[in-house]
Amino acid sequence: MNAENFIAEPGLVESLRPVSISQQALHIIEQHGVEDYPYECCGFLFGAEGNVRVIQEAKPVLNKVTENRNRRFEISPKDYLAAELYAVKNDLTLLGVYHSHPDHPAVPSIHDFKQAVPFFSYIIISVSDNHVQSLRSWQLSDGYFVEEKINQ
Amino acid sequence: MAKLIIPTPLRKFTNDQALIYTESGSVLEALNSLAALFPELKEHLFDDQGSLRKFIRIYVGDQDIRELNNEKTAVGSTTVVSIIPAIAGGTE
């Protein structure tokens, strides 16, 4: 394990199934990150599970944090419930959450780790100077964050 | 029987079931009955002291139990109880 000992080094943990992201979802995530810069944005990811985890839809949601919004995000429980309901109504699976790291790398922080739940994909985009620098996806596995391979 | 809604990330501990019917009475009784049915779920709901985990929210209908009577909030036979993971994070 590396210095941030909640992130698994590649190859040390059994790899997860790859993730594919629709162009539409990708566009929404990147646009949201740029629009909300220098603050953190967040949203939900919906799609289907199979040999590949397919993220079909990204849905922006309010970052309810009022202070330190360039470093923190939080989603209200009511918005969470609404997302679960949306998944059921549209025959989708709630697959995870995306958020931005303004001026920071697309790597989970200790704050991300502390509140992470199993199963979810955590897509992080690094945004600087109003541009998306990188997009990476992570999932909790055996107590560590493991990077998910993104199929192009 | 109370109706409990399991959030997607915890469904792997309930054999992929989104809805579980448990004993009614109080929120705590309903959650204990859920944990007895699915022991692997227990550690995701309660800490070592047996208290509800800090990052788990429980809603009865559309109200947070912290605005009601916490774990002692009454749960009737038609009550819908939602288990909600607190979603938050950020950079260093």
Instruction: Break chain B into its structural domains and give their ranges.
Output: 2-85
Query: Looking at residue A16, what is its pLDDT?
Result: 79
Determine the residue of chain A that is closest to B10 in CA distance.
A118
Chain A residues closer than 8 Å to B65 by CB: none
Architecture category of domain A19-151 in CATH = 3-Layer(aba) Sandwich (3.40)
A83 close to A59: Cβ distance less than 8 angstroms? yes
Q: What is the pLDDT of residues B19-50, one digit of tens each?
A: 999 988 999 999 999 999 999 999 999 999 99
Q: In whole angstroms, what is the distance from residue A4 CA to residue A145 CA?
A: 10
With an 8 Å Cβ cutoff, are A115 and B64 in contact?
no
B58 close to B11: Cβ distance less than 8 angstroms? no
Average pLDDT, chain A: 92
Q: In whole angstroms, what is the distance from residue B75 CA to residue B2 CA?
A: 7
With an 8 Å Cβ cutoff, are B8 and A116 in contact?
no
In B, what residues contact A, Cβ < 8 A? 5, 7-12, 18, 44, 55, 57, 59, 62, 64, 82, 84-92
With an 8 Å Cβ cutoff, are B84 and A42 in contact?
no
Q: What is the pLDDT of residues A71-87, one digit of tens each?
A: 999 999 999 999 999 99
Q: How many angstroms away from the CA of B90 is the closest CA of chain A?
A: 4
Question: Which superfamily, per CATH, for B2-85?
Answer: Beta-grasp domain (3.10.20.30)
Listed residue (A61, A41, A47) closest to A19, CA to CA: A47
**Residue B82 clears pLDDT 80, i.e. is over it:** yes
* pLDDT tier at A4, thresholds 50, 70, 90: low
Residue A31, helix vs strand vs coil? helix
Chain B residues closer than 8 Å to A71 by CB: 90-92
Give the bridge partners for A132, in sequence order: A127
**Residue A9 clears pLDDT 90, i.e. is over it:** no
A46 close to A37: Cβ distance less than 8 angstroms? no
Q: What is the pLDDT of residues A30-56, one digit of tens each?
A: 999 999 999 999 999 999 998 899 999
Mutate one of B43, B83, B87 to test the A interface: name it (highest A CB count within 10 A): B87
Query: Looking at residue A47, what is its pLDDT?
Result: 98
Question: pTM (2 decimals)?
Answer: 0.93
ipTM score for this prediction: 0.91
Q: Do strands B2-5 and B19-22 pair parallel, antiparallel, or not at all (unpaired)?
A: antiparallel
pLDDT (average), residues B68-88: 95
Domain ranges of chain A: 19-151
The answer, yes or no, to whether the previous bond of A38 is cis (omega within 30 of 0) is yes
Query: Looking at residue A13, what is its pLDDT?
Result: 58
